[in-house]
Structures are given as structure tokens and as C-alpha cells.
Amino acid sequence: MNGFKQFLLRGNVVDMAVGIVIGAAFGSVVTSFVKDLLTPFIAAIVRKPDFSAIAFQINGSSFMVGDFVNSIVSFVIIAAAIYFGVVLPINTLIARVNRQPPTDPTTKRCPECISEVPIQAKRCAFCTSALPQ
């Protein structure tokens, strides 16, 4: 029982549960936004009184095209919000943290023969000319 309790109280399980609850609430807000604000706005542009009520019937079966379009628009808005609000900032932050400072040079070029020589060298190993310090 102790192991199960540790598993449930580990940080990543609790974080995942919080994320799922917040995601569900966010999905509900976006769905409401699409259904109550965006759909009537689109319906006003295309001169349909209720965009979500667009449907057609074949042999008594009703195909709710408007509801399907609402779901697609909700999905696109949620995906864009998650990408631009979570994924992109996290990727930028990780890239900043992982950025390495430039390394110090270990070699320099000989001005006479353009060969690579160690940075502490006083003479070029290839042409034996004196190197500037």
C-alpha cells in the first residue's frame, strides 16, 4: 500500500491529473466560444440564422454538418492555443537553457602559410616563421 501511495503522490502523476482537469475546462471554454460567439458570427456573414443547425437528411438519417464544423473549429483553436501558449514557449525555454557558450579557440592561423598551429606556439611548425603574440 505504501508503494501505491508513493506512486499516486509523485509529482508527474499529480501534474498530469492537474493538466487533464485544466485541459478539460479549457476545452469547455473554447467549445462555448465557438458555439456561442464564433458560429453566430460566421452565420451572420453567410446569412444563415444558425450555423450549428445546418444539417441534411438521407432516408431519415440526420447529418449534422454544422456541429461537425463547430467541432473542427474548436479543435483547431484548442490546438493553436496549446501550441502557441505551451509548446512554443517551452521549446524556446529549453533551447535557451541548453545553449552552450562558444568554446575558446585552441588554434590560430599562421599569417605566412595559413596553417593551423596551437594557440601557445611562438613559431609556425610548417614554415618556421615567428608568430605574433
Taking CA atoms, 26 is separated from 63, 68, 88, 90, in Å, by 27, 19, 18, 19
Q: How confident is the model at residue 108 (pLDDT cuts 50, 70, 90)?
A: very high
Share of the chain above pLDDT 90, in %: 10
Written out in words, the top-level CATH class of the domain with range 2-98 is mainly alpha
Task: Supply the pLDDT for residue 26.
Answer: 82
Q: Identify which has the larger pLDDT, 36 or 114.
A: 114
Task: Supply the pLDDT for residue 110.
Answer: 92
What residue spans define the domains of the chain? 2-98, 104-133
**CB-facing half-sphere around the CA of 72: CA atoms within 13 A:** 7
- d(Cα 20, Cα 14) in Å, to the nearest integer? 10
* Residues 23-54 pLDDT 10s: 888 888 877 887 788 777 777 777 765 666 77
- d(Cα 71, Cα 35) in Å, to the nearest integer? 9
